[in-house]
């Protein structure tokens, strides 16, 4: 069974951390033992999104050989386990990304799912998460530049022996979408496994240091993230609330506009 997913993109700011935190939270809510690990060690913000920015031990200390991974595991919403990276530059400099594989192996032994939030770009610490995951999921924004960077990341992943499972189109809107799903699938050569709309509640929930799927579970982005998590877990997604069902009507319109054929 696939257990380790790296959420990557190439371009920065596409929504990797947001999706890692929220997918991890939903997978944990299914009662599956789920870990989220912040491999974006230079620009760590997974811990910040969950209010864990001041914890004493992080992945930095683990990768510097100063602490066992068991001391860097914290409990998040729905019982998801979180391994944050530290926010200090010194901590980043002391961390050896080569040890990431060993840390991952230790975690994989105790979980159903491990979600790795990868850094942007193709630095050494960015390449390792692409190689060690069972599957890489690319996060793409509806812009050509984002698609080009995702393509580079896909090529790199395959060069180093990794595998890309699919792409998530994040921050999709009805109005400004430079690329359709068809185009993304054609260019990247992978399936689009989800379409997450631009949603102001993503930022609002970040301000509350709470995943949107917890703070605003019926918001359009939450609904789509739940559908993606259901696909990953191999369970059927069921809209649970009336507001969730009405949110789906908007999402249907969005999907129709973005799935348009532009061959
Ligand atoms: N679907 C969305 N709707 C609205 N805002 C979003 C959405 N997804 C992400 N954002 C916002 O975009 C910004 C970048 O998101 P995030 O930090 O998750 O990206 P990232 O890819 O992890 O960034 P980095 O490459 O810097 O680590 C954040 O301010 C976040 O709130």
The domain in which residue 37 lies consists of 3-258
Q: What is the reported pLDDT for 261?
A: 47
Asked if the interface predicted TM-score (ipTM) of this complex is over 0.90, the answer is yes
What's the rounded Cα separation, in Å, for the pair 219 and 104?
33
Q: What is the reported pLDDT for 75?
A: 96
Is 263 contained in some domain? no
Distance 229 CA to ligand 1 centre (A): 18
Q: What is the reported pLDDT for 263?
A: 43
Is 101 contained in some domain? yes
What CATH number is associated with residue 251? 3.40.50.300
Give the count of domains, the chain.
Answer: 1
Is beta strand 164-172 parallel, antiparallel or unpaired with respect to 135-140? parallel
128 touches ligand 1 (CB under 6 Å): no
Q: In this predicted model, what pLDDT tens digit does every residue of 6-37 receive, in sequence order?
A: 999 988 899 999 999 999 999 999 999 999 99
171 touches ligand 1 (CB under 6 Å): yes
Ligand-binding site membership of 15 (annotated): yes
Is 75 contained in some domain? yes
Distance 7 CA to ligand 1 centre (A): 13
Distance 197 CA to ligand 1 centre (A): 12
Is 95 contained in some domain? yes
What's the rounded Cα separation, in Å, for the pair 169 and 30?
24
Mutate to test the pocket of ligand 1, among 18, 141, 208 (most ligand atoms within 8 A of CB): 18
Q: What is the reported pLDDT for 2?
A: 57
Is 91 contained in some domain? yes
Please list the alpha-helical segments (H only) found in the chain. 16-29, 46-49, 59-63, 89-94, 100-108, 124-132, 144-159, 181-188, 200-207, 212-215, 220-233, 242-258
Which stretches of the chain drop beneath a pLDDT of 70?
A: 1-2, 175-178, 241-249, 256-263
**C-alpha distance from residue 5 to each of 71, 113, 115, 132 (Å):** 22, 8, 5, 9
Query: Going by CA atoms, what residue is nearest to atom 16 of ligand 1?
Result: 15
CB 95 within 8 A of CB 49: no
Q: What's 103's DSSP letter? A: H
């Amino acid at each position: 069974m696939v257990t380790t997913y790296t959420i990557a993109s190439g371009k920065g700011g596409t929504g990797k951390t947001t999706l890692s935190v929220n997918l991890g939270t939903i997978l944990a809510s299914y009662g599956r033992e789920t870990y989220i690990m912040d491999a974006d060690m230079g620009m760590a913000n997974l811990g910040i999104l969950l209010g864990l920015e001041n914890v004493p031990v992080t992945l930095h200390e683990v990768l510097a050989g100063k602490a066992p991974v068991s001391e860097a595991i914290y409990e998040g919403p729905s019982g998801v386990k979180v391994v944050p990276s530290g926010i200090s530059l010194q901590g980043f400099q002391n961390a050896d990304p080569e040890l990431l594989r060993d840390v991952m192996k230790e975690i994989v032994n105790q979980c159903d799912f491990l979600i790795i939030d990868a850094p942007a770009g193709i630095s050494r610490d960015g390449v390792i998460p692409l190689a060690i995951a069972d599957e890489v999921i690319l996060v793409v924004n509806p812009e050509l530049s984002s698609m080009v960077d995702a393509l580079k990341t896909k090529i790199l992943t395959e060069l180093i022996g990794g595998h890309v499972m699919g792409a998530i189109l994040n921050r999709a809107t009805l109005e400004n979408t430079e690329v359709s799903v068809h185009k993304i699938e054609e260019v990247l050569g992978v399936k689009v496994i989800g379409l997450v709309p631009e949603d102001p509640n993503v930022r609002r929930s970040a301000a509350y240091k709470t995943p949107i799927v917890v703070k605003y579970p019926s918001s359009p982005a939450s609904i789509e993230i739940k559908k993606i998590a259901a696909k990953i877990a191999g369970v059927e997604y069921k809209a649970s609330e009336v507001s969730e069902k009405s949110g789906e009507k908007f999402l249907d319109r969005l999907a129709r506009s973005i799935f348009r054929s532009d061959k």
